[in-house]
Amino acid sequence: MASSFYSNSLHVDFESVLAMDNPGMVSVFNTLMASGLEGFLGCPAVLYEAALMDFFNNGSVRDGLVVSTANGVPVEFTEQLLAETFELPVDGLSELSEIPRDKVFDARSIVSMSGEPVSLSGKKSQMKIEYRLLCDIMAKSISVKAGSFNAITVEKFSLLSAVVCGVRMNWASV
């Protein structure tokens, strides 16, 4: 019943989050803004999960063009257009696997509720609430992979580590 009131959307209202009386949440969103993803995550267009998953599942990059389908319609546009439209940073690492291991280790401790490094194959309940939310936003908005919504995967944590530790990423290619 509650699912009828919930829609999966990329839109994040940064102004209302930054006005919250929760220093941890405000700090996390300031870091997210500093990563250069504010334009992408704050876009006013509402994209629903099924259409977005269809786009990413069928998508590929060929010779600098993003090729996919959206609602069964073939679409093709340049990587540059994608980056410019969503104001994505294009400098920095282009592969999540290139994130330095020391940054991932630091992030495992920073986001932990207990202070002990979180397990990369564990549950999000090990994380502070603001980082659980950030993990959800990053996973839903950028990777759009099927799987347990409550699980911490290596890919989700790599995205989280890049934001939390301030790793410069080429978000247009991720």
The DSSP H or E segment spanning 155 is helix 154-164
How does residue 46 score in pLDDT terms, banded at 50, 70 and 90? low
For the chain, helix, strand, coil in percent to 5 are 50, 10, 40
pTM: 0.63
Give residues with Cβ within 8 angstroms of 100, minimum separation 6: 167
Q: Which residue has the tokens 């290139």?
A: 98
Report helix, strand or coil for 106.
Answer: helix
pLDDT at 1: 33
